Amino acid sequence: MSSGEAVGDVVARMAVTMGSPDEARELLALLHDMPRHWPSVARNEPMSVSDAEAATAAAIRRASGMPLEYAAGRAAFRHLTLHVDARVLIPRPETEVLVDIVLELTRHETGGTAVDVGTGSGAIAVALATEGTFARVIATDLSLDALAIARENAARYAHASTTTLELRHGSLLSPVTERGLRAVVSNPPYIAFAEAAALPSSVRDWEPPVALFSANDGMAATARLVREAAGLLAPHGVLALEVDARRAATVAALAVAHGAYADVRVVQDLTGRERFVVARRREEQG
């Protein structure tokens, strides 16, 4: 058709390339920032030639083994649609739960600063800035490439919040000099180098190693965060970490042993795995 092609025709052509009609519909929906069922509902609606060509190119990328979100250049996270590529981790549903935990623990106060450590795409930081009650959110990352992606995503949603969102370059909490933080939140690298071979190829071969792997059996970054956050959090400030389910108890024990934290607990994700460790900074003594 001269005005373009129908959505259903584009999905059919993508499915031939990708070998999966369902995944073709999912990819097209993501490209258009629409619900997954949209390609089926809108199958007879016209699509411009340029959009059809972009969809076909994304299908070719996906057929090469590229993760679906990288192929689309977009990932859904809570109410957000974020730009992603191989410079950052793909945001996952587990991390949406981490945001829920922080929002619940901080909902009775307003103002103050939250820090998202190792922000990657900016998913946590932008979610906290648009949904939380903080006056400021600081997002840190060691990767300048990741910060470029996070900056783009932060700019896209700047209109949706009055919270100041600031990006800083550096390792974990080293760029943060402020004290009295309301929350320190992180999905840090927590996979041991020896565990690389067991990862799905879609993760191991595509996502950035700096965001996946950590030394000391996967514990180096997490243990450092437990130590450093203690000196930056306000009394009753929240530490919330996404962790490897196999090491959640170890992380919780580290927080207890440090002595600066109270109410240390392990929280399960939606599948029942021990995925998060949460604590509050103790009241200052004497």
In words, the CATH class of domain 86-281 is alpha beta
Task: Taking residues 183-209, report their average pLDDT.
Answer: 96
Residue 270 to residue 113: CA distance in whole angstroms: 28
Lookup result for tokens 């390609």: 39
Residue 223 to residue 216: CA distance in whole angstroms: 10
pLDDT digits (tens, 9 = 90+) for 230-241: 999 999 999 999
User: What pLDDT band is residue 5 in, cutting at 50, 70 and 90?
Assistant: confident
Per-residue model confidence (pLDDT) at position 2: 38
Task: Taking residues 182-209, report their average pLDDT.
Answer: 96
Q: Helices 49-63 and 21-31 sit at what angle, rounded to 10 degrees?
A: 130
Per-residue model confidence (pLDDT) at position 188: 97
191 DSSP assignment: B
Q: Tell me the pTM.
A: 0.93
Per-residue model confidence (pLDDT) at position 29: 92
Sequence spans of domains, the chain? 5-72, 86-281
Look up residue 59 and give its two tokens: 């299908």
User: What pLDDT band is residue 4 in, cutting at 50, 70 and 90?
Assistant: low
Per-residue model confidence (pLDDT) at position 285: 52
List all residues 6 or more positions away from 42 whose beta carbon is below 8 Å from its beta carbon: 7
